[in-house]
Amino acid sequence: MSRSTRIILIVIATLVLLSIGGALYYKYIYKGGSDNADPEHTLPAIKIILTNGCGFEGLAKEFADYLADKNVDIVMMTNTRKPIYNKTLIINRKGSPEDLQRLQRMTGIERFTEARNENALAEFEIIIGKDYEEYTKK
């Protein structure tokens, strides 16, 4: 192999390595790895009312702790008049279908109903049922 061929191969290898290094720098350092970041936290927080529907004392606070790392804003915690809820559910008060899907993904709660009220304090209400451990243990 001639000397000029070796020099050309070295230059090409150097350019390839610099390109790979530049791409890795851009993706993981310059952009801060944002391609792998959770896009949920770039969206506005979903406002919810958290309601204890099964009567277990302190359950709303415990569930609020579970939601602490989720992109939700708890505007009020309350209890139902009668502790009759066996199943946890989301009530859509004035939220969009897209936000309902986001809330379902974040909490794992699939059961929902619509009870539209444009004067509601929050877009959604989560009524915590006796099955709450299915969601808080995840």
Neighbours of 118 (CB within 10 A): 6
Structure tokens at 100: 């309902």
Look up the pTM and report it. 0.71
Least confident of 15-19, 37-41, 97-101, 107-111: 37-41
What is the residue-averaged pLDDT of the chain? 89
Per-position DSSP letters for 44-100, written without gaps between them:
PPEEEEEEE-S--TTHHHHHHHHHTTSSEEEEEEEE-SS---SS-EEEESS--HHHH
Whether pLDDT at 28 is above 90: no
Class of domain 39-136: alpha beta
Q: What are phi and psi of 67, to 5 degrees?
A: -85, -5
pLDDT at res. 105:
94
- Reported as a single tens digit per residue, the pLDDT across 104-123 is 999 999 999 999 999 999 99
What residue segments make up the domains of the chain, in order of their start? 3-36, 39-136
pLDDT at res. 25:
79
Place of tokens 């989301």: 90
- Rounded mean pLDDT, 64-91: 95
Least confident of 10-14, 86-90, 98-102, 103-107: 10-14
pLDDT at res. 11:
86
The 3-state DSSP class for residue 13 equals helix
Whether pLDDT at 37 is above 80: no
